[in-house]
Amino acid sequence: MKRKDFYQLLQPLTEKFYRLAYRLIPDDLQAEQLVIDSLNAYLIKEKKKILAASDLESLSKKDIQLQRRSSFKGIIRYMGEIGVRRSSQLVDQTKFSQPKDFHSFYGLAPKVRMVISLRYDFQFTVEEIEDITGMPRYEVIEKIHNGRFLLLNDFNQGAQL
């Protein structure tokens, strides 16, 4: 696959990359850097696989969608690894840039925010999240349920006031 084809393949996904990056690190500049770093890590690690892939013109629509989804998962995998590590380093810096309306969500641990986002915003299955994050199934399910419980608990407390 040519470089131009690869970027054309990812073009429809750019908004999703930035959305997930901002959920991991709620700072515009840091989230943008996270997307760039994740894409670079994916390109470096998966270079042979990308170059061996067929050109977009020779693929059917279904094959393009499968290729796009596979690349999306791969880049998100690196985004999760880098973003979780980086968000813990930038916790003091990002306190002031967090959206005020979503304090409960950004109060969760970065791994929990990522799992919740993958499950409910990007509609990944538990098995896919397990594959993307490298966490065991029970840990993915635990993070989904605990994160939902904390968010709903905060929401219900706010509604009672």
Q: What is the pLDDT of residues 16-59, one digit of tens each?
A: 999 999 999 888 899 999 999 999 999 999 888 888 877 778 88
Average pLDDT over residues 67-91: 89
Where do the domains of the chain lie, and which CATH numbers do they carry? 1-97 (no CATH), 99-161 (1.10.10.10)
Kindly state the DSSP code that residue 107 receives in the 8-state scheme: T
Side-chain half-sphere of 80: how many Cα atoms within 13 Å?
A: 21
| Residue 53: predicted pLDDT | 78
pLDDT at site 161: 43
Token pair belonging to 157: 């407390």
pLDDT for 38 equals 95
| Single pTM value for the model | 0.83
134: left (phi over 0), alpha (psi -120 to 50) or beta: left
Collapsed DSSP state (helix, strand, coil) of residue 90: coil
Residue 91, CB-side half-sphere exposure with 13 Å CA sphere: 8
Give the mean model confidence (pLDDT) for residues 99-124. Answer: 87
Cα separation, 28 vs 25, whole angstroms: 8
pLDDT in tens, 127-148: 999 999 999 999 999 999 999 9
pLDDT digits (tens, 9 = 90+) for 93-111: 656 666 666 778 888 889 9
Tokens of residue 26, six digits: 């709620």
